[in-house]
Homo-oligomer: A and B are copies of this chain.
């Protein structure tokens, strides 16, 4: 796999407290797969400076791209931006163009100290605009700092995507066997995995309203190999007297 690699760093007490169900990982995971970027790690950490600084430095060194979400608003708990500056060892300073843009757009006096923080970035950062709020995210080197609010994050990702590296899209194929047990097909699946090493073959029990079964999922950058692996998994399911269901079951 020569695709670029990536990690996501979620900075958010609200995820760790259980107050908020994260949905940003799932959005980014799907989009990165289409872009051919291999998501290899996700971390969720609290709004604590030394935790943010060390995680940013560890992850930006380990992966080609690092995406952060959360902590870039105007309130006291929004400390991602200055922590990224500290991680890079560069000054955290007003971004002239963003500062002017935000100041002009607001009523006199409304661009207060708290809002000015949203126009303050690590030196060298490139803003990531979004269509929902005035305040941008930013990229610095391979670190992409985005909002935690899902629709703002998604808008920032749309703006950012064209500047990201591209790999071979990571495709997925699935076949399902209703009523089958993983333990019954495990040996057969393992043999298929051994036959197609570049395919990442996974097995996932699932449940629907009435019944459950196993989903066999093949993932990789060579669609022809995925088809072959799934064809064999389909035969494996059929050999147990079960009608295989291609794609996603209802």
> How far does the Cβ of A92 sit from chain B's closest Cβ, in whole Å?
17
Q: How many copies of this chain does the complex contain?
A: 2
Of the stretches A16-24, A161-169, A221-229, A237-245, the one at the interface is: A16-24
Number of contacting residues on A, CB 8 A?
64
Q: Which residues of B lie under 8 Å from residue A170 when comparing CB positions?
A: 17
Q: Is the CB of B22 within 8 A of A75?
A: no
Cross-chain contact A15 with B19 (CB below 8 angstroms): no
User: In the bound complex, how far is the Cα of B112 from the Cα of A184, in angstroms?
Assistant: 8
Q: Is the interface of A mostly helix, strand, loop or mixed?
A: mixed
Q: A76-B186, A113-B187, A182-B75 are in contact. Are A172 and B45 (CB under 8 A)?
A: no
Chain B residues in 8 Å Cβ range of A74: 182-183, 186
Assess the B205–A149 pair: CB atoms within 8 A: yes
- A219 touches B (CB below 8 Å): yes
- Across-interface contacts of A47 in B (CB, < 8 A): 202
7 additional A-B residue pairs with CB within 8 Å, beyond A47-B202, A73-B203, A112-B186:
A14-B217, A16-B42, A17-B33, A21-B23, A21-B26, A74-B186, A76-B189
